[in-house]
Structure 1
Amino acid sequence: MSINTSFIIPHKGREDMLIETLTSIANLQTPQEQYEVILVSQNKEISTALSEFKETVNLRVVHSDDNNTISHSRNLGADLAAGKYLAFLDADISLASNWLNVMIDTINTRDNTVLVSAMQVNSPNAPPLERIRTALSNAELDVPVNFLPGRNLFLLKSTFEAAGRFPEHLLTCEDYFFTDKVNKLGELFYTSQTQYVHIGEDKAYLPMYKKEIWRGQSNIASLRGRHIPLREWPSFIVPFAFSGGLLIAVLAIIFSQPVIAMVMLLGALLPFAAYTLRLKRLVKQQVTWWRCSLFYLLYFPARAIGTLIGVRGAVSTSSHK
């Protein structure tokens, strides 16, 4: 039986979550002979525990330089892939046992569907922030979407090549850039028929704040070379409207300009309230109003700071999944 699907997993640093990812692949309903796993590691060596997966999931380990981007790792894995289909996973994703079967069936039975991703579910005893992240990820289900995060993507290798591969010049936002290109070839579909757990999902607010600063650093670079639809503009404008509005309101109060302070405060709070209300509707009773508000109180300034750092060209990173 020939290899049908090539899993491609970029990896750097932690191995415990990667082992959970590989274990979930080993537990797939799909026969092992039908897939391979290409691990593109930026670690200098792998552990004995990882080496043992060479038998259970047909694992092949490729080493990449520590300075290369995650896009480079994904493209390198795709170059070596023997499968007709490519399954891009992050190294902290636990798949449901029917994941691969559903992916293949969906991409072959839905008209004009060229890229498929699965629904995210919470881990056991998930804290409020993880529940928020999961709810935002699942805002649109069982419908075509405009872009998808790179945590679990399934497509034909021919589609991957036709879309121009992952953009190696970006440190972050590479998945949105790539899936936007794929969307020009056909529909992206987010299915609830199978699931995954994002093991490394944000669980604490301060680390999330720091991570969003890093994630925001490629915002401007990701705009180059593609048309930006109207639906994406709020994600760039609102963090500055909120953060800048609050800052100017404080300065206006200091300099005794109450009218300007009120106008700027209103301009900051309106989008904040709209986003928080939408989030509360998504999480329902799982998360309190305060936790939803705290999320955007940290998220918007972090994104604004990250974008400004990216504009200055001071983009740097120490790790990726």
Structure 2
Amino acid sequence: MTERTRLSLQQKIELLDKHATGHYNQKELGEWAKQAFKLSKRLRQQTISDILKKRNEIYGNIIVKESSKSLRLLRWYPQLDQEVTKYVADQNAAKRPVDRNAIMTYIKYVAAVKYEIPKGEIKSSDGWLTKVFKRNKLKSRYTYGESASVDITSENTQSEIQKIQNLLKDYAMKDILNFDETGLYYEQSPRRTICLEQLGGLKKSKKRLTVGLLFCNADGTYKSHPIVIGQSKHPKCFDTRARLLAKTAVGNSHHVEYYHSPNAWMTTEIFTMYIRKLDVAFRIQDRHVALLLDNASVH
């Protein structure tokens, strides 16, 4: 099988410029290219024809900037920008994490196989990829929560949503509430810092509080107080209940319930005590409410 001759972007531009003079036919261009580019054989007429057909695309892939010393040719492939954007969008849609190394590996493959860009034509560096990110408004961001773990369009998910809707249809919006907990790692150091040289990271502190939040009801007319779970039975900074409420109040004073457990996690006992208090409060108001919870063993 005859090996295909691949020309760089610079060589293709020189070939097009030579053809534009009107002094060469395609056969003569093949001979000229062999001498000018030091090829082992004359350039095939079909290859030349393909290059001539793509002249607009080839010229569109370069930017020429004039400096005080010389003309400088900057290589830019818009189709690779599009490939990066599409690749990232596809990975996001599939809920797969993607990093710079994965993008660079994919682009090298696409450039060589799909677009037949000669090796070395693209400067595969962090700087090159950063410019691609900037042009296409791509950023590395932290992901939060677990919402990406659920396919909301799946038949099973839609079936479960319908079941929940059927269970809640007899409740007024004000009587539908949601409760959840979150961990507050209050001693963890920041993940990023500004520095003059590379610094080592710090060991991540495991000290935490659990904050339980009974979020507002479905129509937004009710917000409950939070509960806080720590390890200490009687924290020294909160030597009295009045001091606890004063320190935790933001703006107008509000109520905070404090509990403790060995690892500052929610337990079945703490959750049961809290729910019984809620039950008494809503019973006094003669209200029957629906409380939505996640599938945790302590609930």
Higher RCO by CA contacts (8 Å cutoff, separation 6 or greater): 1
Tell me which protein shows more strand as a share of its residues. 1
The structure that has the greater radius of gyration is 2
- Asked if these proteins are the same fold (TM beyond 0.5), I'd say no
**TM-score computed with the length of structure 2 as normaliser:** 0.20
**TM-score computed with the length of structure 1 as normaliser:** 0.19
Tell me which protein shows more helix as a share of its residues. 1
